[in-house]
Structure 1
């Protein structure tokens, strides 16, 4: 079974790059690093607002 690599598009040159890469191999664009705390905070805020509208 062949697994497909998850890819992302470089916003600078539109090259498909492996999702785990920090730099684009073509144009050396540095992908911004995401902090997981911000993602969890956004999820918790979304749940909070949904609960506010339901109740």
Structure 2
């Protein structure tokens, strides 16, 4: 299974975990819709300056 490092205690934990089982650090949840909105806005910004 894929592992990530906890930014609080530096322990390797499962990537799907919502919080660190060692120190209790809660990983921020980021919706995929925010990523799509950011990509679209960047593309529009770039197109605006090209045209």
TM range (shorter): 0.7 to 0.9
The number of aligned residues is 51
Structure 2 unaligned spans of 5+: none
Paired with 1:23 and 1:41, the residues of 2 have a C-alpha distance of 26
**Alignment RMSD (CA, Å):** 1.4
Find runs of 4+ consecutive structure 1 residues off by over 4 angstroms: none
Structure 1 distance, partners of 2:2, 2:38, is 23
Aligned to 1:33: 29
How many Å apart are 1:45 and its aligned residue? Answer: 0.6
Distance in 2 between residues matched to 1:47 and 1:6, nearest whole Å: 31
- Is structure 2 residue 11 aligned with structure 1 residue 15? yes
**For 1:27-55, what per-residue CA distance to the aligned partner results, in whole angstroms no more than 9, with x for missing partners?**
11111111122111101111111111211
